[in-house]
Amino acid sequence: MSHTRPIFIDTHAHMNLREFRPEPGKAVHRAAHAGVTRIVNVGTKVGSSRRAVELAEQFEGLYATVGIHPHDASSCDPEALAELRALCEHPKVVAVGEIGLDFYRDLSPRPVQVEAFKRLIELAWEASLPIVVHDRNAHDEVLAILDSECPDDLGGVLHCYSAGPDYLPATLALGFHIGIDGPITYANAGALRKVAARVPLDRLLLETDCPYLSPDGRERNRNEPAFLPDIAGRIAEVRELTVAEVGAATTANALRVFPRLRL
């Protein structure tokens, strides 16, 4: 029996959003105390991408992704793409994201979302970075675009996976990983627990999506990376593993999916 403390990587956080100002250092410290020693802050538009990179420069354990969320797809113009392209050269930018389609809230017209998604996949390809994909109520469309637009070795994660067990085989066949968040702790999350039980262990990633999606029992919309072990605990339960085993496997996965991430 090993007594080493499990190490976790939060592969999808938004400490770049205003909820974490003015003192992100405190949340970073609480996370480290909980064993979450690496945190990837995810960009949702040019400004929050820039902020994610700033945080990565300030704190050793923080990394960044840069991208434009489908909600903001209308802002994906040549200027924005040029700025994201420049940010991709930063050594702590580990992926392009979050990018994708959101047909639930439809905050940008669907054709605009599709066009931005394709341009941002192209950007990732040019930069040789994996992608962090947001898919809400657009499972068929997202998989079709990943299938037609992604070179075989691009890879990445379907973050906050919500497509249920039926879409799992197609997602895995495309080489993508499955990001599991706080909803796995919710009473009504039977389908998601089925997903967490079935995903091959080497395709699983842990994420908080903080400040959103607080695990059960935590204050709503006050989620933070320190709560990541709640999610690991629930996955451990459904897979009949120890939390340490889930931590070790998902940490190894994160380092493989995001080659610029370092322990």
Site for Zn ion in 192-231 (CB under 5 A): 209
Q: How far is the CB of 89 from Zn ion (least distance, A)?
A: 23
Give dist(CA 51, CA 178) in Å, integer. 26
Q: Which residue is nearest to Zn ion (CB)?
A: 134
Binding status of residue 38 toward Zn ion by CB under 5 A: no
Q: Residues in the chain, how many?
A: 263
Among 45, 51, 92, 134, binds Zn ion (CB under 5 A): 134
Strand 131-136 vs strand 204-206: parallel, antiparallel, or unpaired? unpaired
In the complex, what is the shortest distance from the CB of residue 118 to Zn ion, in angstroms, rounded to a whole number?
18
Pairing between strand 36-42 and 62-66? parallel
| Region binding Zn ion by CB under 5 A among candidate stretches 129-137, 170-178, 197-205, 218-226 | 129-137
Closer residue to Zn ion, CB minimum distance, 208 or 253: 208
Minimal distance, residue 135 CB to Zn ion, in Å = 8
Q: Which residue has the tokens 């370092």?
A: 262
Closer to Zn ion by Cβ: residue 41 or 239: 41
Give buried/exposed letters for 14-49 (b at 16+ CB in 10 A, else e): bbbbebbeeebeebbeebbebbbbbbbbbbbbbebb
Q: Which residues, at least 6 apart from 8, have a Cβ–Cβ distance to it below 8 Å?
A: 34, 35, 36, 37, 206, 228, 229, 232, 247, 250, 251
The smaller minimum CB distance to Zn ion, of residues 5 and 21, is found at: 21
Binding piece for Zn ion, criterion CB under 5 A, among 15-23, 45-53, 94-102, 148-156: 94-102
Q: Which residues contribute to the site for Zn ion (CB under 5 A)? A: 98, 134, 209
